[in-house]
Amino acid sequence: MKASVSDYVVEQDVFIADMLAQMEGIGLPLTDAQGRDFYTYYVHLIKTNAHMNLTAITDAHEVVVKHMIDSLSCYDPAYFFEGARLLDVGTGAGFPGIPLAIYRRDLEITLFDSLQKRLRFLQDVIDMLNLTNVTTLHGRAEDMSHQMEHRERYDLVTSRAVARLPILAEWTLPYVKVGGYCIALKGAIYEEEVEESQRALSMLGGAVREIRPITLPTISDKRAVVYLEKQRKTPTNYPRKPKDIKARPL
């Protein structure tokens, strides 16, 4: 007998109640419609993960905290102004881009990834949730920023668990407008990464605006959100070729 969704995911009201409790823990409200959208996203993530490697986290509560809430930990209306154009680099299964899109449907969000199969999954989510504010983009971060339609065109660039900060800065800052921000969701060694990125930031036209330590509900992991301000244009020779970035980080 074929298993149904209810055999391996929690019920909607259970999931939404957990989302509501955890959102309150980080000081963000949650509407009923948003709760249903997060649940639909969760169900499709788990169903698709059965035949596509999207996430190692499948427990409902851990999905809430380690994916949804962690993604929203970078949210601050001081940075996410109304109608901001946002690029989510290395979006993977859609984190943090999809949670931000659900929470703020006025943001113009592009989910950027190098694997088409992940983008097909994300397009399904976009269609299911009628996220008219979201599009997908296929390509490599080192390449697309040399195209004029993407170079220094975004108010915000987000990235979660993609690369160490000196490398990430070279991948992301070329997309950011002067006056915009790269927002990096980082793990336990964020202080070390910030220190080793100073030369890269100086060369790329960026600077650390804020480092915000984050504590997720029920989790003791050390993590932070690093907000990098784009203060001047990035020289046109950056980013370099992939082999050069990895072999000789700035």
* Residue 90, annotated as binding a ligand: yes
User: Are 144 and 171 in contact, with CB atoms under 8 Å apart?
Assistant: no
Structure tokens at 232: 């001047």
- Which residue's entry shows tokens 């009201």? 13
Tell me the C-alpha distance between 140 and 171, whole Å. 9
- Show the CA angle centred on residue 226, arms to residues 224 and 229, nearest 5°: 165
- Residue 38's φ and ψ, nearest 5 degrees, are -60, -40
User: Which amino acid, one-letter code, is at 72?
Assistant: L
Flag whether 195 is marked binding: no
Confirm if 60 and 9 have CB atoms less than 8 A apart. yes
Q: Is 80 assigned to a binding site? A: no
Q: Name residue, tokens 């009628």.
A: 130
Q: Are 88 and 158 in contact (CB under 8 A)?
A: yes
> Cβ distance 51 to 117 under 8 Å?
no
Q: What are phi and psi of 114, to 5 degrees?
A: -90, -10
In whole angstroms, what separates CA 130 from the centre of its chain? 19
What values do phi and psi take at 182, rounded to 5?
-95, 130
**Which residues are bridge partners to 212 per DSSP?**
225
- Summarize the annotated binding site as residue ranges: 90, 95, 141-142, 160
Known binding-site residue numbers for S-adenosyl-L-methionine? 90, 95, 141-142, 160
